Structure 1
Amino acid sequence: MPTITTNSGSDILGRYYTRSEISSFLVEQFDITSPVRLLDLGAGSGSLSGAAKTRWPEIKVLTVDIDPEVELPNISAGRTSVDVFHEHFVIDALCEDLSTVLDCANAPIDVAVCNPPFITPKWRNEFTAILEDAGFNDCLPFPSDVDAGLLFLAQNLRLMSEGATLGIILPDSLITAKKYKKFRSVLINSYAVTKVIQLPRGSFHHTDALASIVILQKTKKHQDDVRIYCLARDKTLSEPLFIDVLHASERLDYAFHFERIKAAITTCKTTYLRELASDIKRGSLSSSQMKNANFPVLHITDIKEKDIGKWLDFSAYSAKTSHDYPFYVKAQPGDILISRIGRNLDSKIVGVKAGTFAVSDCIYVIKCLPHVREHVLAQMASREGRDWISAHAYGVAAKQLAKKELVTFPVTLD
């Protein structure tokens, strides 16, 4: 078994199992009437291929999973079933010669579904061939530290026949992270991305990991824009946003572009946080440094959601850090504090009424001009401000807010 780094909440192979309603929803997104052969890489419990079998009862299903104990109750009776409509392969889905094993040359695959494990697999040389065949070899900043979702995407594309359609669930990192911007550009310009659907938290069992459904065709087809949707918790689908290719390469999530478009059409006088702040710094003490510190350090757990938008007295955290440790980043009266990381970072926003103290590296300290402090804190803590912050953060589970995004927070002045 390959060495992997798993995300919290997944099983030992990094799998988050798809809820049945999400599987059915994904299969409904295909504009295909009578596909013949379907591939499900890393099939797991078979939720996706089972939903496909329900829609297309006569389709031939190929499932692949490295786990010899996997069970596929929704597709056939068992792993050794002789069902001519289902064939299961116990093999690594990222094997370089998988095309030969599946006989793709003689029996083309015209549709594929995939929910990749949310892991970073230990790099193997054969990954290079997989990425090259799909055209992704030159768009990764650190090839040896590539998300499994991208590898599964590339493997599907190299196995599918020309014109085939893929429905794949990709983690939020591939959808929003800056390091994958070039990947998104290559994807959009090399294949026909039909739609991207941002999924709500809770779409997978035992986790609230963020992910999106991407539907694309293996064909070179010019497109001026990408249709991006949002699936609500009540399973209603939003109207699409038509995002031009350039902006889609920046990010592919609905929430981000919804807020961007809304800000672009506002008629109010708006400026950006970078123009109103004299300084924005990230705290300087790591968790290990906090444990060894002989003075109080404010951490995100010390900022309570019930206090959002309030000016608070932090005098209890004051210590002799100003003179004894001048190199530490400290907050002082008039500063605004916001969490840099965490699932609920958009609700950890407060002002400092009193106290001068050190803060952890999980907190941003914003020093604003005196005449706009109240405006900035109130608007960051408002429902609209929180939505903006959440939309501009990124991450699969614990979200992160990059400073380059924070400085673009829009503030409406009277």
Structure 2
Amino acid sequence: MSLLPTTSTNHLGQFFTAPYVGEILVSRIKTNPKLVIDLGSGSGVLSSAALRRWRHANLVSVDIDARIATKHPHHFTKAELGRFAHVHADALCLDVSSRIGVRQGSADVAVCNPPYARLRWRKHFDALLDEVGLRVLPASSDIPAELMFIAQNLRLLSPGGQAGIIVPDALISAQKYAPLRRALIREHSVKSVIQLPIGSFRGTEARGHILLLAKQTPSTRTIELIELVKGKGLSRSVHINFDEAEARLDFDYHAVRRADAYSSGIKLADVTEAVSRGTFSSAEIKALQVPTFHLADFAAQDKHRKVHLSGNLSLISEFPKSTVARPGDILLARIGRHLERQLCLVTSGYAVLSDCVYRLEVPRQHRTRVMRYLSSDHGRALLGSAAHGSAARHLSKADLLSMPLDSL
């Protein structure tokens, strides 16, 4: 398995699962399996949880890292080891069934925490994805590892078999993965998605979700979303329809939008004349010899969220007009762990923006109300829920403009 460079806790892009996440994952799979598989098993946390949950099931785990097998005796009891087999192999090869001794279409349950990485494309990936109806993303030289692990698990599952797979936030919420969500929802049965708390993976702030699905056509047209709150357990459920699920599958996004009964349907796009951002990276912006505005500059705002910039009108002739902040602009962070807290109104002066900052042109008659709303508790919750990303969170222009503003 050829991995591209990635931020991770080890060289294979694995984010090792906290034990309580494994316990939650297996507890949500309501069946009594005879055979369980764990592809890309890593440290064995999910295998261990599965063996405790299903005391009469056999389990086969697979990992490409030869060192993994030495850790298993520390995770399992002697009785559990008697029902457990580990295979050192590439879990994504086309003939994985013969390599691990599990007949294709015979596993009752799959548990999986795939590496958060992108894989270099291999010829047989087309066939693997086609078998389960998931060849839906544009052709590329690489592909998300989690997509290939979802496909391989579905190939090995029996008809009606169930899977609990931990996936990164992007697959659940990013616009570019909408075709994949559509295929998963319509070709298979996505039962529920559990949003995991930050810190669920050792050594990283990456956000993930548990995707619970079955290898069968959908029996209902709704999907259950839940949040796992650290120290408190599972939240109330939110149920969404297929169209909503294709747009996004994260609990935060839908829960906060159901907190109020929106009626007028006004969105930020309806009261905004233009949205743009800078073109300079954080490194490039520091090298400019002119007044600039980057994420750290949000700290310069006063208690009323107003900021005074030091540049003058000449910047508009030196740089693209859309990349220069000016009086009346609302500035908003595009990226960051707490981007919903970084918001201000330019009252004077000009500055060249970094590519991490949005500028919103809002007509004067709406400006104060938009600022008041975006900086309110509910507005910040909406902004935060619209952002996505496993570690560094991003707010897309489309998600920003689609924010409901019915309270205005």
TM-score w.r.t. length of structure 2: 0.93
SS at match of 1:195: strand
Alpha-carbon distance in 2 for matches of 1:116, 1:153: 9
Distance 1:161 1:373, change over 3 A: same
Whether contact under 8 Å (1:375, 1:413) holds in the other structure is no
Q: Deviations over 1:178-222 (max 9, x none)?
A: 111111111111112121111111111111211111111112233
Once the two structures are TM-superposed, the CA of residue 394 in structure 1 deviates from its matched residue by: 1.4
CA change 1:31–1:2 in 2 (3 A) is same
Partner SS, residue 252 of structure 1: coil
Matching residue of 2:134 = 136
Note if contact 2:291-2:350 (Cα within 8 Å) is conserved in structure 1: no
Distance 1:369 1:167 in 2: 48
- Identify the match of residue 83 of structure 2 among 76, 82, 85: 85
For 1:284-295, what aligned pairs fall within 5 Å after superposition?
Answer: 284-295=279-290
| Match of residue 94 from structure 1 | 92
Post-superposition offset of 1:362: 0.9
Say whether 1:356 aligns with 2:350. Answer: yes
2 CA distance for matches of 1:82 and 1:229?
31
Change (3 A) 1:326 1:258: closer
Matched, 1:19 2:18: yes
Preserved contact between residue 282 and residue 365 of structure 1 (Cα < 8 Å): yes
CA contact (8 A) 2:161 2:214 kept: yes
Q: CA 1:114–1:362 in structure 2 vs 1: closer, same or farther (change >3 Å)?
A: same
Partner of 1:205: 202
Match of 1:149 in 2: 146
Task: Specify whether residues 203 and 318 from structure 1 end up closer, same or farther in structure 2 by C-alpha distance, changes over 3 A only.
Answer: farther
Shift of 1:151: 0.6
Q: What is the CA deviation profile of residues 212-264 of structure 1, one whole-angstrom value per residue up to 9, with x for unaligned ones?
A: 1111111223321111111112242122212111211111111111233345x
- Cα RMSD over matched residues? 2.3
Name the structure 2 match of 1:345: 339
Which consecutive unaligned segments of at least 5 residues does structure 1 have?
Answer: none
Task: Select 1:303's aligned residue among 293, 298, 304.
Answer: 298
- The match for 1:39 is 37
Q: Distance in 2 between matches of 1:107 and 1:184?
A: 22
* One of 281, 288, 302 as aligned partner of 2:276: 281
Counterpart position of 2:181: 184
Aligned twin of 2:384: 390
The residue number in structure 1 matching 2:240 is: 243
The residue matched to 1:26 in structure 2 has which SS? helix
Q: Percent identity?
A: 35
Letter in 1 for 2:270: E
Check 1:144–1:136 CA distance in 2 against 1; reply closer, same or farther (3 A cut).
Answer: farther
2:124 is the alignment partner of 1:126: yes
Q: CA deviation at 1:413?
A: 5.9
- Change beyond 3 A, Cα 1:307–1:243: farther
TM superposition score normalised by structure 1: 0.91
One-letter code aligned to 1:42:
G
Give the Cα separation in 1 of the matches to 2:144 and 2:305. 39
Distance in 2 (alpha carbons) for counterparts of 1:326 and 1:107: 57
Q: Provide the C-alpha distance between the structure 2 equivalents of 1:83 and 1:262, rounded to a whole number of angstroms.
A: 47
Give the stretch that moved more between structures: 42-51 or 272-281: 272-281
Q: Partner residue of 1:63?
A: 61
- Kindly indicate whether the alpha-carbon contact (under 8 Å) linking 2:273 and 2:361 is maintained by their aligned counterparts in 1: yes
In structure 2, the residue matched to 1:194 is 191
Match in the other structure for 1:215: 212
Q: How far apart are the structure 1 equivalents of 2:91 and 2:332?
A: 42
Between the aligned partners of 1:175 and 1:210, the Cα distance in structure 2 is 11
Check the 8 A contact 1:314/1:352 in 2, yes or no: yes
Displacement of 1:272 in angstroms is: 2.2
Q: Distance in 2 between matches of 1:197 and 1:150?
A: 18
* CA–CA separation in structure 1 for the residues paired with 2:236 and 2:127: 39
Task: Describe the SS at the equivalent of 2:66.
Answer: coil
Structure 1 residues 299 and 87: CA distance shift in structure 2, 3 A? same
